[in-house]
Amino acid sequence: MAAFDLKLVQAKAARMRRDIVEMIASAGSGHPGGSLSAADIVATLYFGGALTHDPARPDWSERDRFVLSKGHAAPVLYAALAEAGYFSRDHLKTLRKLGSILQGHPDCKKTPGVEVSTGSLGQGLSIANGIALGLRLDHSPARVYCLLGDGELQEGQVWEAAMFAAHNNLSNVTAIVDHNGLQIDGACDDVLSVGDIDRKFSAFGWQVFEADGHDPSAIIDRLDEAASIKGAPSVVVCRTVKGKGVSFMEGLCDWHGKAPSAEQTVQACDEIATLIDESEVAL
């Protein structure tokens, strides 16, 4: 993995959070809660050295692949791709607009850097497995990272894919769970508990790691460990807070899928601006 710069990743995550809020506010719809909870995870992947990628060559055969299984959190992926230089930041204000390359869910045919069109929850890990098998056949060293929501784990297909990955020893697959404990209808444990996520993945034959999903240093350490595993798939369960970074959104399922007002957008961006002194970092 490339050298890790904590201040850089934190600054990138802060800028991504601001972009998430602003683009959803401009669209008048979208999913801020789960996008904000995953910002530190995605920033660590793209800017912390975990993900081998090249914005100048989106189709580079040796790149690692990132599958956003929780496709409704598309704003966090768009923010990262724009920050990395896959497309102009001007596109962010066109989120969910007719003709935009940035639709409500990722579209790999329209958006540079998007590997897979996602949105139907539960399908991403199966797709990641297929990509991983293809990479194995090509004797490629590339890895596949798949970000799932904890509410998404209620989908049966996730566990079919988990069995498949373990059965086929897909050590080039790392799943990441954004474990914020909430979904659109309330607490995940109240809607349909999946029990102990760590023990469940372990029972399915996965190597399990835990991390504070808002601590890039912890995330990169666990991803590094996961990349060293041979003979089995790995999962990093990241404990997060829905709406992280915006006080009036944090820990509330109400902000799963609605846009902030103009006044709320100003407040949110003011709060996010205090997260990091960007002047300390060469962005």
178 forms beta bridges with 149, 238
pLDDT at 277: 65
pTM: 0.97
Least confident of 3-12, 123-132, 153-162, 250-259: 3-12
* pLDDT tens string 170-208: 999 999 999 999 999 999 999 999 999 999 999 999 999
163: nearest Cα among 227, 252, 233, 218: 233
User: Is the pLDDT confidence value at 280 over 80?
Assistant: no
- Residue 19 makes CB contacts below 8 A (sequence gap 6+) with 75, 78, 79, 82, 83, 89, 92
Domain 6-55+63-280, CATH: 3.40.50.970
Instruction: Provide the mean pLDDT of the chain.
Output: 96
Q: How far apart are CA 217 and CA 140, in angstroms?
A: 27
- The mean pLDDT of 95-114, rounded to a whole number, is 97
212 forms beta bridges with 239
Q: Are 69 and 125 in contact (CB under 8 A)?
A: yes
User: Is the pLDDT confidence value at 52 over 70?
Assistant: yes
Structure tokens at 244: 């992280």
Could you tell me the pLDDT band of residue 2, with boundaries at 50, 70 and 90? Answer: low
Could you tell me the pLDDT band of residue 234, with boundaries at 50, 70 and 90? Answer: very high
Rounded to 10°, the helix 74-84/6-27 angle is 120
pLDDT at 281: 63
* pLDDT tens string 136-162: 999 999 999 999 999 999 999 999 999
pLDDT at 3: 80
User: Is the pLDDT confidence value at 279 over 60?
Assistant: no
